[in-house]
């Protein structure tokens, strides 16, 4: 998986698709700062996710952004997405490979070198660590520390995604400490100070 230092943002969808979402998404992806977009909708039916996902996929394709699905390899195949992101409680990498073949498979490793080593052995496409900062998007069960980014870089060249409470105040610290991509959601979609496009522009 190639790394473009200018495209370091891994954008995760809001929990709810609001009226202006597709317009906002188009504007954000046109900034050319986004490398991945992950569809993460917990309270929508499979059918709804297909309809929403098809629209998102088209916007991603036009802007050369990789389109990933959270937790659901079957939905990833149905939408012909670029890949899938797995949590530790989801289908494992081996089973997911059988479903989606050579597509991207990323996995959450929390703050654990042991989980990362398992993922490396299973040939994950990227490793996600977090939460680095308090997050309002989802409950924080695991706290990650900067030193894990340094440790992991000593044992693998697999791209590293940092997640959890990342915003314009703290993002540079993660990039300076070996994170290749920054997974962001609440800072963009739930920002009371800036509109989504303005929030993205603050990440330079």
Overall number of domains in the chain: 1
The pLDDT value recorded for residue 6 is: 82
The pLDDT value recorded for residue 140 is: 66
The answer as to whether 50 is a domain residue is yes
Q: Give 194's contacts (C-beta < 8 A, 6+ positions apart).
A: 202
The answer as to whether 3 is a domain residue is no
Q: What pLDDT, in 10s, does the model give residues 132-155?
A: 998 776 666 789 999 999 999 999
Nearest-angstrom CA–CA distance, 117 and 55 = 36
Q: What pLDDT, in 10s, does the model give residues 17-56?
A: 999 999 999 999 999 999 999 999 999 999 999 999 999 9
Nearest-angstrom CA–CA distance, 152 and 13 = 27
CATH number of the domain residue 44 falls in: 3.20.20.70
The answer as to whether 16 is a domain residue is yes
Q: What pLDDT, in 10s, does the model give residues 62-112?
A: 999 999 999 999 999 999 999 999 999 888 999 999 999 999 999 999 999
Look up residue 27 and give its two tokens: 């504007």
Domain extent at residue 191: 9-201
The answer as to whether 40 is a domain residue is yes
Which is nearest to 129 in space by CA: 73, 67, 167, 174? 174
């Amino acid at each position: 998986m190639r790394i473009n230092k200018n495209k370091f943002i891994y954008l995760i969808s809001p929990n709810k698709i609001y009226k202006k979402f597709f317009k906002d998404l188009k504007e954000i992806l046109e900034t050319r700062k986004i490398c991945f977009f992950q569809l993460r909708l917990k309270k929508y039916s499979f059918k709804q996710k297909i309809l929403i996902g098809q629209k998102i996929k088209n916007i991603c394709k036009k802007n050369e952004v990789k389109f990933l699905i959270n937790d659901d390899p079957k939905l990833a195949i149905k939408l012909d997405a670029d890949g899938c992101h797995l949590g530790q409680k989801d289908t494992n990498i081996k089973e997911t490979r059988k479903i989606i073949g050579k597509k991207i498979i990323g996995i959450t490793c929390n703050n654990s070198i042991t989980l990362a080593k398992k993922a490396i052995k299973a040939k994950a496409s990227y490793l996600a660590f977090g939460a680095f900062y308090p997050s309002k998007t989802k409950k924080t069960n695991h706290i990650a520390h900067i030193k894990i980014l340094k440790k992991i870089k000593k044992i693998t060249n697999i791209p590293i995604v940092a997640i959890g409470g990342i915003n314009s105040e703290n993002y540079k610290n993660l990039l300076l400490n070996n994170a290749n991509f920054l997974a962001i959601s609440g800072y963009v979609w739930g920002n009371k100070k800036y509109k989504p496009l303005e929030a993205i522009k603050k990440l330079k």
